[in-house]
Amino acid sequence: MARPQKNIDVVQFKKLCELHCTLTEIAGFFDCSEDTIERWCKREFELSFAESYKTHSARGNISIRRNQFKMAEHNPTMAIWLGKQWLGQTEKQEMSVNYIEDDSTKAMTEYFEKMKKEKKGG
């Protein structure tokens, strides 16, 4: 006699995917093995767990994005981050070099100038 099939609630499964739970976490939630979840996905969705997860976790991505945009209204750091990620914005980085000429740097400069002239032939 075959073992009875584990009862896995579709709505709960989809919610766990939206929360980006791992296969191990989902199996733990339903108190079954990862293989059982894999087989159930094949029966329920006619897809592997990975394919099912990809489909159902997308709603979680939408929720994260919605919250990020909401946060950006009051959080300048989040607004800057979103601008960089989505709009290709960057911060200008300026560099300044303080050049101090002393006897040793003056001698090196003269040496390299001399080498350039010799290389040019003159």
pTM of the model: 0.61
The full set of domain ranges for the chain reads: 10-87
Q: Is 1's pLDDT higher than 70?
A: yes
Arithmetic mean of pLDDT, 82-86: 85
SS3 at position 9: coil
| Percentage, residues of the chain above pLDDT 70 | 98
Q: Is 10's pLDDT higher than 90?
A: yes
Cα separation, 30 vs 37, whole angstroms: 9
Q: Is 100's pLDDT higher than 80?
A: no
Length of the chain: 122
User: Which tokens in the block code for residue 100?
Assistant: 């101090």
Q: Is 93's pLDDT higher than 70?
A: yes
Higher-confidence residue: 71 or 4?
Answer: 71
Which amino acid makes up residue 43? Answer: R
Cα separation, 49 vs 57, whole angstroms: 11
Arithmetic mean of pLDDT, 34-46: 97
pLDDT in tens, 59-73: 888 888 888 889 989
SS3 at position 102: coil
Q: What is the pLDDT of residue 50?
A: 97
